[in-house]
């Protein structure tokens, strides 16, 4: 087991990464303010992971209740959140009852936001079971639900007591979801860790083949990058915005296709290619580097060509993004591979050119 720390003063917490951690109940039990937890999970994951986790906790004298939610991003909304509140209130859960988010990004976002606002905040633990959640959404305290008019529009910055990433859970992950997680892994290399990007280029085959050591290393290095950024800028007033590399385009792609058609990581992959092309168009990135980005994403099994919505529709779709400030769209661009920055002065013609031929190769 590897353990990293997200350094946030009195709200610092550990990220544990390794095999077999679901049954290591002491990692959770030691942090509970009260011997009572509510496991929030979904109907797909419950048959796989609920019993080992709850049995291990109960063996340590922890009272366990379970809230079973429907599976899928379509359910990341107020109605599902309310199911959690109903169950917590009916079971008289108090301010020291700890919520355990057992699942992927949707479960983590829902359970985390429920923890942030139930009785104005109760403790919670992230137990991510997808690669995407283990390297990204479970780390850093962003929680949210979707609103009919926008993704992640309602949420909170709310840090967990701990993140417990059991790499065994990746064995059952569908290929498409593994690839979607790799998109965010590659992102860390691109925005601030050139050596990691080199490693990813060399080891992508091992990751796609799910070699446990390679996956564990990629998760650890990803979490380490994210932990650094979150510690420096918890509420995204500065450097944390770099984590949105590829996401302004990606969110537009997700919204344009209708949420749920492409996975988040798939949209981000195509979005990162657009952002790399925009960086090239701005005279920052060499054509060769854009090719390296595209090839690495391709080898991870990810889409690299964005849908052809046309310039106007892309611009409209990006207008609702949270990264808008003062009516101006801000883009995260690359100075070079491994070094990103926020640009708020992208000329319209550069953007239009990239959006207008987004399905072409460089």
Interface positions with a copy of itself (CB under 8 A): 34, 78, 82, 85-86, 89-90, 92, 94-96, 113, 116-121, 142-144, 147, 149-150, 152-157, 235, 319-320, 322, 324-327
Is 79 a catalytic site residue? no
- Going by C-alpha positions, the residue among 107, 130, 42, 73 that lies closest to residue 260 is 73
Least distance in Å: CB of 249 to a copy of itself?
A: 19
Least distance in Å: CB of 297 to a copy of itself?
A: 28
Cβ(313)–Cβ(255) under 8 Å?
A: no
- Going by C-alpha positions, the residue among 220, 244, 222 that lies closest to residue 233 is 244
Task: Count CA atoms closer than 13 A to 203's CA, side-chain side.
Answer: 20
92, 120, 202, 287: the catalytic one is 120
75, 251, 277, 281: the catalytic one is 251
Closer to a copy of itself at the Cβ: 21 or 122?
122
Is 357 a catalytic site residue? no
Least distance in Å: CB of 87 to a copy of itself?
A: 11
**Tokens read off for 23:** 């049954």
Is 247 a catalytic site residue? yes
Is 226 a catalytic site residue? yes
> Who's near 354: CB < 8 A, 6+ residues apart?
274, 277, 278, 281
What's the rounded Cα separation, in Å, for the pair 103 and 11?
A: 23
Q: What is the 3-state secondary structure (H, E, C) of 119-145?
A: CCCCCEEEEECCHHHHHHHCCCCEEEE
Closer to a copy of itself at the Cβ: 45 or 145?
145
Closer to a copy of itself at the Cβ: 20 or 150?
150
142, 151, 221, 281: the catalytic one is 142
Q: How far is CA 327 from CA 91, 330, 352, in A?
A: 45, 9, 17
Least distance in Å: CB of 319 to a copy of itself?
A: 7
The H or E element containing residue 155 is strand 150-157
Least distance in Å: CB of 147 to a copy of itself?
A: 6
Closer to a copy of itself at the Cβ: 11 or 176?
11
Catalytically active residues, by annotation: 120, 142, 184, 226, 236, 240, 244, 247, 251, 264
């Amino acid at each position: 087991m590897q353990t990293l720390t997200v350094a946030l003063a009195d709200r610092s917490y550990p990220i544990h990464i390794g095999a077999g951690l679901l049954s290591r109940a002491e990692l959770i039990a030691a942090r509970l303010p009260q011997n009572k937890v509510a496991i929030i999970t979904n109907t797909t994951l419950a048959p796989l992971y609920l019993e080992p986790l709850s049995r291990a906790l109960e063996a340590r004298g922890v009272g366990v209740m379970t809230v079973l939610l429907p599976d899928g991003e379509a359910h990341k909304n107020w109605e599902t959140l309310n199911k959690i509140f109903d169950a917590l209130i009916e079971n008289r859960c108090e301010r020291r009852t700890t919520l355990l988010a057992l699942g992927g990004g949707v479960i983590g976002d829902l359970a985390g936001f429920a923890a942030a606002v139930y009785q104005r905040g109760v403790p919670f633990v992230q137990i991510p079971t997808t690669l995407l959640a283990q390297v990204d959404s479970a780390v850093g305290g962003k929680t949210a639900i979707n609103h009919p008019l926008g993704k992640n529009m309602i949420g909170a910055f709310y840090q967990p007591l701990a993140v417990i990433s059991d790499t065994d859970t990746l064995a059952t992950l569908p290929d498409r979801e593994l690839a979607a997680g790799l998109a965010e892994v590659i992102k860390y290399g691109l925005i601030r860790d050139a050596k990691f990007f080199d490693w990813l280029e060399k080891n992508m085959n091992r990751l796609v083949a799910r070699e446990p050591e390679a996956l564990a290393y990629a998760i650890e290095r990803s979490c380490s990058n994210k932990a650094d950024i979150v510690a420096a800028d918890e509420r995204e007033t500065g450097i944390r915005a770099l984590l949105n590399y590829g996401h302004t385009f990606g969110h537009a792609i997700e919204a344009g296709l209708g949420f749920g058609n492409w996975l988040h990581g798939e949209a981000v992959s195509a979005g990162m290619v657009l952002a790399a092309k925009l960086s090239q168009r701005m005279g920052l990135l060499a054509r060769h580097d854009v090719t390296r980005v595209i090839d690495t994403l391709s080898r991870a099994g990810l889409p690299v060509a964005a849908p052809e919505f046309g310039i106007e529709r892309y611009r409209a779709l990006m207008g609702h993004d949270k990264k808008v400030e003062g009516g101006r769209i801000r883009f995260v661009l690359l100075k070079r591979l491994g070094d990103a920055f926020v640009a708020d002065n992208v000329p319209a013609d550069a953007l239009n050119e990239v959006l207008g031929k987004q399905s072409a190769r460089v």
